[in-house]
Amino acid sequence: MTDQPVLTEAIVQDVVYAYCAAAKHEITVPNCGSVWGPEADIASVTKARLGHAFEIKVSRADWLAELRQIRGEEQTAKWWRAKTLSNAKQQAAETARMAAAGSNCCGLVPPSYFWMVTAPGLIKREELPEYAGLMEIEPYRFGNVQSHGFMIREVRPAPRLHRVKLLDNQMMAMARGVTLRYWQQRRAVA
């Protein structure tokens, strides 16, 4: 067996994309900053228009910095992580109600699922917030090796935070993200 490459955020993004493609998500965008406000390492949406946000951590130090934000030790904590399970449901319902009423609201529906994606053992179970699922990236040892020789193992499923579908402006933000990535890649090749 060949040596495994060092686990980087780019490799983890490729593995998460393979997971989302296998789950038949409609759109999966890396480093998408306008869907839920702060940038998601991966933003993905299902056919039912339920959003999945994936936060990637490749080192323990990176996770501990994130944990300080989650626990409120820094004022710059990302808004959806500061929400409790019930607050995320309330925010989603209120935004959907305003959109259905024809309001020109600029609110965003938070992701329906939130995932932490890490190397094995990087996050201790007791450190994981109740609203987050946990996936670990492991070497893939059998069959035709895909995604840099790694695979995802779901350690703890992400709870569904709400059932509200992403708004049209959020879907367009994802489409713009895909378009941007395509043209950046094309320019890099030309």
pLDDT (0 to 100) of residue 150: 86
d(CA 61, CA 58): 9
pLDDT of residue 183: 92
Q: How far apart are the first and last CA of the chain?
A: 35
d(CA 132, CA 119): 16
How much is the pTM? Answer: 0.80
* CA 190/CA 184 separation, integer angstroms: 10
Measure the CA–CA gap between 132 and 159, rounded to whole angstroms.
7
Question: pLDDT per position in the chain (190 positions), as tens?
Answer: 456 678 899 999 999 999 999 999 999 999 887 788 778 899 999 999 999 999 999 999 989 888 887 776 443 334 444 444 456 667 666 766 666 655 545 567 889 999 999 999 999 988 998 889 999 998 876 644 456 788 899 999 999 998 889 888 889 888 888 898 889 989 988 7
SS3 content of the chain, % helix, strand, coil (to 5): 40, 20, 40
Tell me which residue of 120, 127, 123, 109 sits closest to 70, measured CA to CA: 127
Dihedral, 118, 157, 44, 53 alpha carbons, nearest 10? -60
Place of tokens 């060092």: 6
So what's the pLDDT on residue 36?
82
